[in-house]
Amino acid sequence: MIILKTIRENVKSEFTINKSIFISELIKVKDVSNVPLILDDIKKKYKDATHYCYAYIIDDYKKSSDDNEPGGTAGVPIMDTLNKKELNYVLCVVIRYFGGIKLGAGGLIRAYRKASSDVINLANLCDLVNGYEVVIEVSYDKQKELDYYLKCDYKKEFQENVRYYISCDKSTLSYLENNYHIISKKEKIIEV
């Protein structure tokens, strides 16, 4: 079952309206504790900007900021866009360089909605589904066979045998359970 979507890689877009420049960055984030660090980096990168408005969704954590734009004119439209696109594990930051012409509340809402929508439309999205994180160990002679079968994310560790750390869906889990010894498994949301 598809839960939500996320982005495969970070993306950026930019447009100008009434001399104000809006730069949008859509960033993949797995942990809420990383958000302040990312925001600090963005403020250093765009140090002369007037506003750094954002919204993020990371599992059950949702937050938005107008960053001194009139209340509800920046963070809320960004968050609405993230919600409508059913995104998770994302931070959308819209950096504004004020061009000297006021846009008014309606104009700001439209601008921030466009900024967040434009950057999402550039993103390569993938589905998030209920899956499993599995650890198995195979002999070196079974490695090629398993590598050929696996169409999901995995990492290998070479020891006495080859240890696989696999993020997979239910059908792959079933195959692994029937053909290999599973050291551990736990439920996890995975990207497909």
DSSP string of 146-165?
Answer: HHHH--SEEEEEESSSEEEE
Quick count: other Cβ atoms within 10 Å of Cβ 16?
11
Q: For position 190, what pLDDT does the model report? A: 83
Q: For position 158, what pLDDT does the model report? A: 94
Q: For position 2, what pLDDT does the model report? A: 56
End-to-end CA distance of the chain: 11
What CATH number is associated with residue 18?
3.30.230.30
Q: Considering 67, 95, 123, which residue would you say is the last residue of a domain?
A: 123
Q: For position 152, what pLDDT does the model report? A: 81
**Same-domain check for residues 84 and 172:** no
Name, in order, each residue with C-beta under 8 angstroms of 78's C-beta and a sequence gap of 6 or more: 53, 54, 55, 64, 92, 94, 112, 113, 115, 116
**Same-domain check for residues 166 and 106:** no
Q: How many domains does the chain have?
A: 2
**Same-domain check for residues 33 and 75:** yes
Alpha helices per DSSP H over the chain = 35-45, 75-84, 104-122, 143-149, 170-179
**Same-domain check for residues 142 and 161:** yes
**Same-domain check for residues 75 and 155:** no
- Tens of pLDDT, residues 117-141: 999 999 999 989 889 999 999 999 9
Q: Considering 63, 94, 123, which residue would you say is the last residue of a domain?
A: 123
Nearest Cα to 132, choosing from 172, 171, 59, 188?
A: 188
Give pLDDT < 50 ranges for the chain.
none
**Same-domain check for residues 20 and 84:** yes
**Same-domain check for residues 29 and 104:** yes
What CATH number is associated with residue 156?
3.30.70.120
Q: Residue 22's beta-bridge partner residues?
A: 15, 96
* Structure tokens, 181: 């010894």
Nearest Cα to 90, choosing from 190, 178, 7, 1?
A: 7
**Same-domain check for residues 43 and 93:** yes
**Same-domain check for residues 81 and 117:** yes
Q: Considering 92, 123, 154, which residue would you say is the last residue of a domain?
A: 123
Q: Residue 74 burial (CB < 10 Å; 0-12/13-18/19+)?
A: buried
**Same-domain check for residues 37 and 21:** yes
* Structure tokens, 3: 């839960």
Q: For position 151, what pLDDT does the model report? A: 86
Cα–Cα separations (whole angstroms), residue 63 to 46, 56, 82, 92, 127: 21, 6, 11, 11, 22
Range(s) of the domain holding residue 55: 2-123
Q: Residue 45's beta-bridge partner residues?
A: none
**Same-domain check for residues 148 and 163:** yes
**Same-domain check for residues 139 and 78:** no
